[in-house]
Structure 1
């Protein structure tokens, strides 16, 4: 569904990997923020961790907002609700937000996803990161924290209650990947094309994917993802 494994392999030769391409979601989601086919901005970089990737995303968001503002100034008929961005995008830990939600009366426990309805209860607005998520639900390639093996070195970029990006530090050792895959009930043989690359030495690396349509929603104040998508594909629409 995405170039995740391929861009990790490419960090062996190219320290920085960048791609804008279609991705596909096999999820029956019928909301104003989900598509079955979308465009992803994918980044992967060697010799960095998830904190460095969050810094990269901050740069991308600032440049994007400047571009939209310039376009709006040159085209007076546009009606974009262009958001403001602080010098530093706030970074909240998963643990902190769970505690805030519980104090706000949300029925949630550690390990639960942070649902939009609960995010609204604590009034977070604009751009912010949620970092240090529980490791359990994360994909097999996400690295665990050195301080706490139950926590992952991962993050989501949010705009209000809308998720724009997910990223993490990746596992760079083959034996650790295989162990994680077995723990998740996955067959390592099916991923030999990927695992074999790690026999040659993959550097420490991290990366993310940014949903382009969702980013445009945030930059223009649009409520429905279909309004920023040419020929949107969802679970009910394949053509045109």
Structure 2
């Protein structure tokens, strides 16, 4: 099994747009929990960046980082397909690229890997923003302390092969088989197979995931996933 730890941020001081790459050992902030903002006369329960009143709130400098993290937690297409728009507003307010949401303990890169989910997000938009975050020093090995999942595990869980590729491109050799204790120390391949995420399974295998890395709870799921994929 791989050791489940968090690596130090990568070095560098390159600038992407108006944001500066994370400095080595930069302090990570866990932002307090807040509720998502919404217009006072809003008739819907979720945040929609394309709606003028919501867009005004999004661009208002008085809207806080915790409030925008709360927006990212809304599992609706209107939010997830705009991960880049909302994420940039979070960065504009001084959020570190590896800072965490106080409720989920997830970073922007973690949210990116969820935001590509089929049927609710946009994988290409999420992958493009993930590349920007990684260029700014986002740590692909960072784990949520609630789920113990890395970005790769989220990409596998939500069946986003584009994000699997982006994250592994920024990772060290062998990280494809990093384990997650919340999934009985299964790897990203086990997680994808147990959810029948055939696209993620295929991409992980292409990128060197070890199918012989057995965790018995997931092994039957993996076999079923492969058989199902071969029949389609």
TM-score, normalised on structure 1?
0.30
Between Structure 1 and Structure 2, which shows a larger proportion of helix residues? 2
Which of these two proteins has the greater Rg computed from alpha carbons? 1
Q: Which structure's relative contact order is higher, taking Cα pairs within 8 Å and 6+ residues apart?
A: 1
TM-score, normalised on structure 2?
0.31
